[in-house]
Amino acid sequence: MDTSLVVFEKYCKTPATKKMYEYHFGRFLKYCKKDEPLITADGLLSLKKTLQTYVEDYVCGLRNKISPNSYSGVPKGRGGS
């Protein structure tokens, strides 16, 4: 596991929070891999494009796909409380 993820997990207060962040981070990493197929969590820090550019493009893409009012923070089938 990448060092950055180990450090991040240390600060997650609950297992539900950890699962939610892992799920959404996985989706974001998959998005980044369309330009950088071998990218890892630690590798995000050395991208050709800036990390901010990836985040902005990803969020703008989500806005075109889903309504923010129809989306909860908990992935389907993952439960949460």
For tokens 């369309």, name the residue.
34
Residue 80 within any structural domain of the chain: no
Candidates 37, 45, 34; CA nearest to 8 is 45
Q: What is the pLDDT of residue 52?
A: 80
Average pLDDT over residues 15-37: 86
Residue 72 within any structural domain of the chain: no
Domain count, the chain: 1
Concatenated DSSP letters for the chain? Answer: --HHHHHHHHT--SHHHHHHHHHHHHHHHHHHTTT-TT--TGGGGG-SS-HHHHHHHHHHHHHHHS-GGG--SSPTTS---
Using one digit for the tens of pLDDT, what is the confidence trace for 34-51? 887 888 888 877 776 777
Query: For residue 55, what are the domain limits?
Result: 3-67
Residue 21 within any structural domain of the chain: yes
Using one digit for the tens of pLDDT, what is the confidence trace for 54-67? 888 888 888 777 77
